[in-house]
Amino acid sequence: MKKLLYVLFLVTIVSCGKSSEEISLSQEVDSLKTEITALHRANDTLSDHLLKRSYVTLNYPAFFDSIAEPEEYILQELQQRPGLISKKAVLGGTMRFTRVTFINEDLLVAEFEDGHIMGKTVFRYRLTRNGELGFTNVCDIEY
């Protein structure tokens, strides 16, 4: 009888442990949690860089080779399109673009203000074969 109880006790203890599948899944979950943490950290770092204007690049797209000041050229193009500004002017002001900074050959940040409020928008831009610039709002940067 004592031997039977001893065997049942051992079987119960052994069966309480995690199976290899459970251990594998637990390790995968831990790995994914670590990856999510790293991605959150990278996202926060990118947001900080964007807000501090650390995204400046001097690698202009090849189609700007013939333009002396690409930022100024794009700023003038944007100033002719105030409808691209997502915020509305307040207290009788008029929204206008004030600064452009390239992120890369596809994206730029355009700053705007009306004298009372200001904002930034990330635009995707393209130069067509006939020399016209096209802009697509990617996102607004909130302060």
Helix (H, G, I), strand (E, B) or coil at 127: strand
- As given in the structure block, the two tokens for residue 76 are 């003038």
pTM: 0.56
Same domain, 18 and 44: yes
What is the predicted pLDDT for the residue at 73? 85
Give pLDDT, residue 98: 92
Separation between Cα atoms, residue 120 and residue 117, nearest integer Å: 11
pLDDT the model gives residue 131: 72
Shared domain for 76 and 132, answered yes or no, is yes
- 44 with 75, same domain? no
- Same domain, residue pair 101 and 47: no
Residue 25 lies in a domain: yes
Residue 57 belongs to some domain of the structure = no
* Residue 137 sits in the same domain as residue 77: yes
Q: Are residues 71 and 127 in the same domain?
A: yes
CB 114 within 8 A of CB 95: yes
- Name residues whose C-beta falls within 8 Å of residue 55's C-beta, 6 or more positions apart in sequence: 49, 101, 103, 109
pLDDT tens string for the chain (143 positions)? 667 666 666 666 666 666 788 888 888 988 889 888 888 777 777 766 666 555 455 566 666 677 778 788 888 999 999 888 888 888 888 889 999 988 887 888 999 998 888 899 999 988 777 778 889 999 888 76
Instruction: Assess whether 132 and 97 both reside in one domain.
Output: yes
Range of the domain at 45: 2-51
Q: Do residues 106 and 75 both lie within one domain?
A: yes
Tell me, yes or no, whether 29 and 99 share the same domain: no
